[in-house]
């Protein structure tokens, strides 16, 4: 499994492996990463992202056609069985619109499952004062939201 994200994902980096026990997890998260940069990572890997790809790339969305950006990323994938697309804390109107696009992806892409972080990210104690970056309880919660969407590991690893 490959986890592709931004600084919010980076905050959950240490909690993801235990939440995703039984999976071999690669976390590739960078501060300020945008979806176009995530698409570049996918392209550099020839679309080979493992059986499951987790995408958490909307925190830094400033506007434009997020649907087109998501389609570009999805169109590059090779042999990925499931894509878990994580919504983001809607701190800007553009991010809220990106979340709407993410929630609609499974209608046209049956391999996509939504992990709705936006629905729980405002829980008191989950983030620092900026409302985005994760305190330890938020890191554990994000990892669990992702793990719930990913599901159990395959038999035999």
pLDDT tens digit sequence for 7-27? 999 999 999 999 999 999 999
Q: What is the CATH number of the domain that holds 142?
A: 3.40.50.1110
What was the pLDDT predicted at 156? 60
Q: Please indicate, yes or no, if residue 157 is contained in any of the structural domains.
A: no
Q: Please indicate, yes or no, if residue 136 is contained in any of the structural domains.
A: yes
Q: Please indicate, yes or no, if residue 52 is contained in any of the structural domains.
A: yes
Q: 108 phi and psi, to 5 degrees?
A: -110, -10
User: In terms of residue numbers, what domain contains 7?
Assistant: 2-150
Q: Is the pTM of this model over 0.75?
A: yes
pLDDT tens digit sequence for 108-140? 999 999 999 999 999 999 999 999 999 999 999
Are 55 and 86 within 8 A, CB to CB?
A: yes
Number of domains into which the chain is organized? 1
In which order are the strands placed within the sheet that holds 82-86?
A: 26-29, 2-5, 52-56, 82-86, 112-115
């Amino acid at each position: 499994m490959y986890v592709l994200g931004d600084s919010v994902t980076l905050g959950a980096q240490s909690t993801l492996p235990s939440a995703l026990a039984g999976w071999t997890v690669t976390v590739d998260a960078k501060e300020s990463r945008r979806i176009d940069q995530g698409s570049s990572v996918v392209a550099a890997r020839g679309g080979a992202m493992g059986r499951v790809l987790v995408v958490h790339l909307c925190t830094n969305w400033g506007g434009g056609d997020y649907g087109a950006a998501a389609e570009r990323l999805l169109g590059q994938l090779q042999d990925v069985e499931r894509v878990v697309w994580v919504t983001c804390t809607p701190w800007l109107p553009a991010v809220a619109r990106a979340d709407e696009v993410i929630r609609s992806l499974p209608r046209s892409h049956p391999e996509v499952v939504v992990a709705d972080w936006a629905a729980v990210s405002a829980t008191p104690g989950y983030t620092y004062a900026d409302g985005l970056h994760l305190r330890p309880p938020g890191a554990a919660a994000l990892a669990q939201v992702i793990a719930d969407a990913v599901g159990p590991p395959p038999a035999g690893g």
